[in-house]
Amino acid sequence: MDARRFKDSFSTISIRFSLVFVNAIAFTIAVILFIKAKPILAKTTLSHLLFSSSWHPMRGDFGFFPFIIGTLEVTAIAMILAVPVCLLSAIYLSEYAHKRFRAFVRLVVDILAGIPSVIYGLCGVIAVVPLVRLLGQSLGSPTTGYSLLAGGIILAIMVAPVIISVALEVFRTIPQAARENSLALGITTWEMIKHVILRSSLHGIIAAVVLGFARAFGETIAVLMVVGNVAKVPLSLFDPAYPLPALIANNYGEMMSIPLYDSALMFSALLLMLVVGGFSLGAHLTLLKIERRGYT
């Protein structure tokens, strides 16, 4: 075997090894988190962990219900605020905007998607929290401003770039011919959007929303900074909440000194990984299908 062949087969082996290695990382993370979460799963039932509100780490009583509800509510508020606005923007960019303007907005959105979450959190503390406090006072429910609503608003701003860019991508995979055909039948652009664009990209739109949801669900620092962090089930928009990621981030210091606490926190990390991983897996499978359809 000459040197060239040898180099080639050696590199092929190492490249294949690196591929296996990358896949192994994903499974290692899941398996190790599961092993660490096992002690708590052995001691309490899954339904107690998920649906009990009693949170007393010192007594070994871990009910994640307030945290799970907090996460779900803050994410839901963010999605309610972000989804309509982002989809309308994406439709405008795809169907009405000039090509150059579209490229410009895409650039801006890409750059903004890269802004660190701690900066979003900081702006939340500076601008959103006082606003929510004012709003709460004028609506007759006094609040510190560090609340579910503040977290939802900041998350909505953070997921906007994700939803817009994925939705835009999906709209652009629709062949130009489909647009031209329907316009040639004499319908207006809006009718074309309703009957052709939206109908054929329904799955893609859902995927875009799900990816935004997954991003919001696991966001830690920005939410932690504005959401108040009180371990109670929030009853109004102006109540503080305590999402799961914030729980992990705030308590890693104590978790080694209280028995089972580390296991409980790893359980919540595993929960986050499974929920976010599951949703984004579904979204990416859908997008993959759309992409393939685009090529044919």
Partner 1 sequence: MEEKIFKSLMIMSLALVLVMLAGIIVITVYKGAPALTLSMLIETPKGGYYLGKEGGIANAIVGSLFLALGASFCSILIAIPVAFGLQKEYTGWRFASFTKLVLDVLWGIPSIVYGAFGFVVMVYFGLRASLLGGIIVLTLLMLPIMVRSMEEVIRTIPLELKEISYALGTTKLETTFSVVLRQALPGIVTAVLLAFGRGIGDAASILFTAGYTDYIPQSLFDPVASLPLAVFFQIGTPIPEVQERAYASALVLLIIVLLVSIISRLLSYRFSKHIVR
Least CB distance to partner 1 at residue 140 (A) = 27
Closest CB to partner 1 among residues 31, 46: 31
Q: Which stretch binds partner 1 (CB under 8 A): 38-46, 174-182, 232-240, 283-291?
A: 283-291
Q: Which stretch binds partner 1 (CB under 8 A): 62-70, 141-149, 178-186, 270-278?
A: 270-278
Least CB distance to partner 1 at residue 277 (A) = 5
Give the residue among 246, 265, 244, 245 at the shortest CA–CA distance from 254: 265
Which residue reads 């907005």 in tokens?
105
Q: Which two tokens stand for residue 101?
A: 């303007």
Is 122 a residue that touches partner 1 (CB under 8 A)?
yes
Is 23 a residue that touches partner 1 (CB under 8 A)?
yes
Q: Which stretch binds partner 1 (CB under 8 A): 53-61, 142-150, 227-235, 241-249?
A: 241-249
Closest CB to partner 1 among residues 74, 93: 93
Output the CA–CA distances (angstroms, integers) from residue 42 to 34, 35, 187, 260, in the order listed. Answer: 12, 11, 63, 11
Which of 45, 181, 259, 284 is in the footprint of partner 1 by CB under 8 A? 284
Is 22 a residue that touches partner 1 (CB under 8 A)?
yes
Amino acid at 202: L
Is 134 a residue that touches partner 1 (CB under 8 A)?
no
Least CB distance to partner 1 at residue 16 (A) = 7
Is 206 a residue that touches partner 1 (CB under 8 A)?
no
d(CA 246, CA 257): 19
Q: Which stretch binds partner 1 (CB under 8 A): 40-48, 141-149, 198-206, 220-228?
A: 220-228
Is 99 a residue that touches partner 1 (CB under 8 A)?
no
Is 269 a residue that touches partner 1 (CB under 8 A)?
yes
